[in-house]
Amino acid sequence: MKVAIYCRLSEEDRNKQFETDDSNSIQNQKTMLLQYAMEQGWELYNIYSDDDYTGADRRRPEFNRLLADAEAKRFDIILCKTQSRFTRELELVEKYIHGLFPVWGIRFVSIVDNADTANKGNKKSRQINGLVNEWYLEDMSDNIRSVLTNRRLNGFHIGAFALYGYKKDPEHKGHLIIDEEAAAVVREVFTLFAGGYGKTAIARMLNDRGIPNPTEYKRLHGLRYKQPKGKNSTLWKYFAISDMLTNEIYIGNMVQGKYGSISYKTKQCKPRPKEEWYVVEGTHEPIIDRELWDRVQKLVGERAKPFDVGTVGLFARKARCMGCGYVMRSSKNRGKHYLQCSNRHVAKDSCIGSFISVDTLEQLVIEELNRLSKEYLDLDEAERSIVFCTNLQEQKAGLLDDNTAYQKKIEEYSKGIRDLYLDKVKGLLNESDYTEMTKDFMSNRDRLEKLITQNEKQIAELDEKIAVGDNRRELIEQYANLKHLTREMVVEMIDYIIIGKRLKGMKHAPVEIHWNF
């Protein structure tokens, strides 16, 4: 029997002198598991070791290599110290330990908590272990979130990277100090903009002088930085200047929480509303004085004012270059308005130079809208096809109330399972009694979870019916036979537009419209 040993560093006992060294925890795990494998007479296939990874991280390199080798049936047994070293997610316990491993002919064994898929009698124990580990992850996430929120509210900087112009104070954790070399560039950007220079012009000036952009500056100075995904340019861009000019951190205010994680199970984040940001004034020394800041904000506000129909403001921040993905900016020539890629002056090699007149783009959008609304042009037929159910909202409210009640019962059952598990750990319950007593709890909880899922599907269907009805009515009443667009229509209907470059023989540049409905 060939055995694959899997080890993972625990967050609580990380202890390394050098980044290239295995932690003491990993070494102890290897020693324990190797000795156990020898006692069982198993042949060692390989040792897979993930250091500095949590049990909820699905991107562990050695973990994924282990799974690939398991699927290829290169060994017979996976051996771990505990089930939680393999994963703390109940979903992965069910998917692999109880699902795919038996199909692949792989036996899973963990020493400390006696998990062994060859022993069918302890499957429920493995599931309970997975459940307890899942609770551990959720509780740990809540605790960490609470601590971080408290530090944000008190004005401590908790990010991994300091904003360009600042660096982390080595003497006081959570405090920023000015990086004078970068701060000089920040002051110059604000001064140039206040003096009438545009954002693209400022980016061009910095690039012409060979000043590295914030990411490249940090890389050159050995500071921590994050490389933007898919971009490794060292040049200043329009949006780097734009973001800098509106960042309150430069006037001494700590601004955090612009993005929030979707779930403790994923590292994906999404933008948070501005009113939910954490803003604490006067936490560090400002780079920009208040007078210059106020003057710049006034100019930014003036330049961002909406334009009338037919001008470049109609598609402001909606049109993107098909080549490089950057937002196209306005230009004017002989009284006509055009959109051009804002990246064309700073990265000529990577930008295709997308270009289109605003009038042409407006007509293309109107033509596409009219094409989409043709099926609704017969207003009588369209009105008959729309059923506005007066009690849709009432049905939705009823389902939401049911789910609230179901969730409360689920929490009661979960608490009962936790209490029974603790009684078992304390020796108050034997394995047989514990299994029997938790069976009904788990069965009822599973039944309620299925009911919640069914209700959520019904709620989603009701939302679709409500939204579809409203969208159709709006199309019929507002967007049939349009001749001109308004800025409000563009904002409401269009997510973004991709503009290509017109080739020889083509009447217009290629256009892709991504709608909001």
The verdict on 174 and 207 lying in the same domain is yes
Shared domain for 297 and 392, answered yes or no, is no
Asked if residue 279 belongs to a domain, the reply is yes
Write out the two tokens for 149: 């929120």
Residue pLDDT, tens place only, 113-160 = 888 888 876 666 666 776 666 666 666 666 666 777 777 788 888 877
Residue 316 belongs to domain spanning? 312-373+484-515
DSSP 229-295: TT----S--HHHHHHHHT-GGGGT-EEE-SEEES-TT---EEE--GGGSEEESSSS--SS-HHHHHH
* Within a domain: 265: yes
User: Does 140 fall in a domain?
Assistant: yes
Residues 342 and 490 in one domain: yes
Place of tokens 């890629």: 341
Residue of 390, 403, 391 lying closest to 449 (CA atoms) = 403
In a domain, 14, yes or no: yes
Residue 66: pLDDT band (50, 70, 90) is very high
Among candidate residues 265, 285, 303, the one where a domain is terminated: 303
Q: Are residues 265 and 164 both part of a single domain? A: yes
Is the per-residue pLDDT at 61 higher than 50?
yes
Residues 393 and 347 grouped into a single domain: no
Please check whether residues 460 and 319 belong to one and the same domain. no
Higher confidence at residue 203 or residue 379?
203
Residues 166 and 32 in one domain: no
Residue 112 falls inside a structural domain: yes
- Distance between CA 223 and CA 212 in Å, rounded? 14
Residue 378 lies in a domain: no
347/496 same-domain check: yes
Structure tokens at 489: 């229509």
Any idea what the CATH number is for the domain that residue 196 is in?
3.90.1750.20
Question: What is the chain's mean pLDDT, rounded?
Answer: 78
Q: Quote the pLDDT of residue 21.
A: 47
> Residues 155-188: pLDDT tens digits?
888 877 889 999 999 888 889 999 999 999 999 9
Domain end (from 262, 286, 303):
303
Based on the fold, state whether residues 106 and 229 are members of the same structural domain. no
**Residue found under tokens 């969208």:** 471
Q: Are residues 417 and 446 in the same domain?
A: yes
pTM: 0.42
Flag the least confident range among 48-57, 293-302, 459-468. 459-468
In a domain? residue 117: yes
Give, in order, the Cα–Cα distances in Å from 233 to each of 182, 186, 210, 228, 390. Answer: 18, 19, 13, 9, 55
8 A C-beta contact, residue 86 and residue 97: yes
| Tens digits of residue pLDDT in 373-384 | 665 555 444 444
Q: Which of 145, 174, 198 is the last residue of a domain?
A: 145
Are residues 128 and 166 located together in one domain of the fold?
Answer: no
Q: Name which residue leads in pLDDT, 428 or 6.
A: 6
Q: What is the 3-state secondary structure (H, E, C) of 328-367?
A: EEEEEECCEEEEEECCCCCCCCCCCCCEEEHHHHHHHHHH
Residue 440 has pLDDT above 70, yes or no: yes
Quote the number of domains for the chain. Answer: 4
Which has the higher per-residue pLDDT, 162 or 385?
A: 162
The pLDDT, as a whole number, for residue 355 is 86
Enter the tokens of residue 126. 């493995």
pLDDT above 50 for 305: no
CATH of the domain at 26: 3.40.50.1390
State whether 204 and 233 are in the same domain: yes
**Structural domain includes residue 413:** yes
pLDDT value for 476: 45
Lowest mean pLDDT among 100-114, 245-259, 341-355: 341-355
